[in-house]
Structure 1
Amino acid sequence: MTTTVTSSVSPTPGDPGRKPGYRQLLRTPGAWTFLLPGFLARQPFAMLTIGIVLLVEHTTGSFGTAGAVSATTGVAMALFAPRSGRLADRFGQRAVLLPGVVLHAASVGLLVALALSRAPLWALLLAAVPAGASVPQIGPMVRARWAHLLGGARADGTDGTRLLPTAAALESVTDELTFVIGPVLATALCTGVHPAAGLVAEAALTTVGGLLFATRRHTEPPAHRRPRAKGEKHASALSVPGVRVLIVAFLGIGAVFGGMQVSLAAFTEDIGRPGINGVLYGIFAAGNMLAGLVYGALSWRSAPRRRLLVAYALLTLTTAPLWAVDAVPLLAVLGLLAGAGIGPSLITGFTLVERLTPPALRTEAFTWLTGAVALGQAGAATAAGRLADGFGASAGFTVPLVATALALVTVTALRGRLEPADASDPRTEERGRVVTRGTGHRPSAPVD
């Protein structure tokens, strides 16, 4: 791939020869009003699963049990996230967020109470379902706001759509900054204050950030409540073949997150240094964040589809040696490299899905990808926990390698579906709705 480094200084208005940088992106009117509260409200994705692992392992003494409860939360989030995204597209983000953050805080509180009372596993699993299902989908909502704000010409004469890849990079960096801060904060609170303190802080940040984000209505995308004709069903983002391929890719990325979380916790526990778990995971997330920051500052001449394949191949290679490492410094270095493979994969995937889907399906499409990350994280957490309990802490590190290798094979075989439709093709317009009779794209899954 050929790259040229661009400056972060704002380009000359209307100059098509230079890629817009982060500075120009952050000057978008209204951007800071949703970025700051959105950062607070993103903490569930970074703190919830690790907080559950640390609390449940403390009360049960089993990483396998902790991984199962954490996995249930992730599965619930993965299954309900697309529904939340679809509702946000149809009725507006505020209508979904306001009840959602309240339900999430109550669900996490119930889970904490049950864990501390040493409730049976079935009770913990039941409580984990609403805790995961109610996680507010702030990341996809922020990405949808960027797509809405940058969808046309800007006041300075530049084409706002040229800033969309930069916005995707910024969002990946923001996501990973939460994974630098969140696990370290959750681990410090759980090990230094109280085993439940990490989850309590997560619920508080989610509530405050989510409510503040919901009040920023002037940057919210309009609801797409188009009346449906008789016999017509509402479109699903799953009707876009490329979205389905990207879901597979993001399952593998989620497996890296879940496998690293549980395996690092088991490894540091095994060597008698549980306090450095958050630091090691923070280093892993820092690699992701720094790679995303650099990736977004470069101008790429190769197609996004090719960049995704290369980035994913590197991600698979960097996870390969993790299982054989038993020294903390070397594990930190390899974790940094593995994290660096995630950032470009995430950024390119989100850039592709923005090109593949129409505005009426965009928030739902983003939530399918974040839901896939959660589902992959959940499955990997369960598998890594079982392997760590049965074969030792290092065995859990094989999970990210196997998952990314399988996803890479799938994405490579189906890469043709990642090509955006020709804008002149009338079927491109048809992606905004699904007609159940006559011509048009049919949904691949039940829709409402």
Structure 2
Amino acid sequence: MPQPPPRPPSQPLFTVTQDALVIADFGPRTRKPTTVGRRPHGPYRHLFAVPGARAFTAGNLVARLPMGMFSVSAVIMIAGSRGSYALAGAVTATGLAATAVVAPWTARLVDRYGQARIAVPATALAALGSLALLLCAHYGAPDWTLFAAYAATATTPNTGGMSRARWAHLLNGDEKALHTANSFEQAVDELCFMLGPVLAALLCGALFPEAGTLVGAVLMMTGVLLFTAQRSTEPPVRPGVEGLHPRGTSPLRAPGMRPLLAVCLATGAVFGSMEVVTIAFADERGHRAAAGAVLALQAAGSFAAGLLYGSLRPAGPAERRHRWCLAAMTALMALPLLAAALTGSLLVLAGALLVAGTATAPTMITNMTLVQSRTPEGRLNEGMTLAVTGLLGGIACGSAVGGWAAEQVSATAGFGVPVAAAASALLLSLLTPTLTNRGSFTRTSRPVEPVRPVRPVPPAPLA
């Protein structure tokens, strides 16, 4: 008896009952993908979908949090044990100067030998310096030992620069994703410098004066170990780079780098002067303890602006965006000056600082983008550390000028120093010639061979 042909699995089966027609579908049940009503993934979700990104970011966050703790912890610890804020300030200033000298050399070693091989011993040496400072302050060692111990912490590696180097390696030229990564890293910097002092003051006040330094050293060492353990995302060490920027070329000699570092110096002066002047203004009104919370609002505004700026698509060349950001920062830095001069209210000043802080992160994000683009291949950590060194030098100069203005004139007049520093940064940027993607910034994989003249071949003699 002939059998009916087999029914395809996707074809429904028809049958009839006494009073109804039944259609049975035995085909496989698959859910069709649909995009109706589904929101697209945000840029940060795409960013952390990169394999290994979450792991190295977590360790880096732990390592970077103490960066905002050490100075405050050292001041509280030394002033509490020696009774001298002048000594505490001199010790922290010495550590800052030592960091400005040593940090570029540490970054150069990181580029040459790899993050794990250099960052771990350098962090261990810095942690030992912090512990030595703790013991010298606690047991009443001579004052010169405090300077020597705190100077040893200058070997602390630039963990933020190493994280940015990993993003540049993983994203491999994706400018939009790199813009988001730089925005996230700058927001993390603001978050660490916002939470670090608060955590340090809480530990030193609730436990014992040395608690902030001790916890900071443990967090730094633990975070660097977790960060460097993620070897799959570590940028490879290149023995040599062909093209325009060989390995021997210093980032200082790269086209457009020195004017950019000068802008970093002026930008750092904005931060340093604003911090000192704000503390002096709060002290004049009898609310010195509230100065930390007021400054935290500026960091909070910068943190929020950094995350928002990273979610936007960058438009136009980075040089033009940098100038617009500097112009916005110059304009917004006038708000604290107006708030202090017109109202004299610390509460109004806090709101002005919150708004003024929104220009900080976009400026620093674009600045770091330019540093990355102008740094020679294989020297990225060194280039970004030079930018951080410029910022630290500017912070030191800005603190000195802002403190002088607040003491010799008034705290209100001191708010003119950040405005002048921001305007100087803008002027330096405007006077710097715009560099295009041709010429100075073109990187080639191998040098172009010169065209050799071809000797003409004589014609063969006729038979």
The partner residue of 1:182 within 196, 199, 221 is 196
Q: Distance in 1 between matches of 2:99 and 2:181?
A: 24
Q: Distance in 2 between matches of 1:368 and 1:105?
A: 22
8 Å CA contact 1:309–1:412 kept in 2: the answer is: yes
Unaligned runs of 5+ in 2: 1-37, 448-463
Q: Distance in 2 between matches of 1:70 and 1:344?
A: 29
Identity %: 36
The partner residue of 1:280 within 288, 294, 303 is 294
Residue 225 of structure 1: how far off its partner (Å): 2.5
**Structure 2 CA distance for partners of 1:112 and 1:328, relative to 1, 3 Å:** farther
The partner residue of 1:343 within 354, 361, 364 is 361
Q: Distance in 2 between matches of 1:107 and 1:356?
A: 34
- Map of 1:34-433 to 2, 5 A cutoff? 34-58=56-80, 65-116=87-138, 122-131=144-153, 133-151=154-172, 160-226=174-240, 234-322=248-336, 325=340, 326-385=344-403, 397-416=415-434, 419-422=435-438, 425=439, 428-429=442-443
Q: Distance in 1 between matches of 2:404 and 2:217?
A: 28
Residue 169 of structure 1: how far off its partner (Å): 0.9
Report which of the two structures shows the higher radius of gyration computed on alpha carbons: 2
Q: Distance in 2 between matches of 1:393 and 1:194?
A: 33
Q: Distance in 1 between matches of 2:416 and 2:146?
A: 27
Q: Which has the higher contact order (CA 8 A, sep 6+)?
A: 1
Q: Distance in 2 between matches of 1:432 and 1:203?
A: 44
Q: How does the TM-score come out when normalised to structure 1?
A: 0.80
What value does the CA root-mean-square deviation take over the aligned residues? 3.1
**Structure 2 CA distance for partners of 1:361 and 1:206, relative to 1, 3 Å:** same
Q: Distance in 2 between matches of 1:316 and 1:41?
A: 32
Aligned to 1:16: none
**Structure 2 CA distance for partners of 1:407 and 1:42, relative to 1, 3 Å:** same
Aligned to 2:451: none
For residues 107-150 of structure 1, the C-alpha deviation after alignment (integer angstroms, 9 at most, x for no partner) is 1223334445666665444333222x122211000000000001
* 3-state DSSP of counterpart to 1:42: helix
Letter in 2 for 1:301: A
Q: How does the TM-score come out when normalised to structure 2?
A: 0.77
8 Å CA contact 1:183–1:281 kept in 2: the answer is: no
Unaligned runs of 5+ in 1: 1-6, 11-19, 153-159, 434-448
**Structure 2 CA distance for partners of 1:8 and 1:356, relative to 1, 3 Å:** farther
Residue 427 of structure 1: how far off its partner (Å): 7.4
For residues 391-433 of structure 1, the C-alpha deviation after alignment (integer angstroms, 9 at most, x for no partner) is 66556544433332322222221142xx2442xx597337999
Residue 367 of structure 1: how far off its partner (Å): 1.1
8 Å CA contact 1:136–1:210 kept in 2: the answer is: no
Residue 29 of structure 1: how far off its partner (Å): 0.7
8 Å CA contact 1:150–1:163 kept in 2: the answer is: yes
**Structure 2 CA distance for partners of 1:193 and 1:262, relative to 1, 3 Å:** farther
Q: Distance in 1 between matches of 2:220 and 2:292?
A: 20
**Structure 2 CA distance for partners of 1:429 and 1:169, relative to 1, 3 Å:** same
Number of residue pairs matched by the alignment: 403
**Structure 2 CA distance for partners of 1:71 and 1:406, relative to 1, 3 Å:** farther
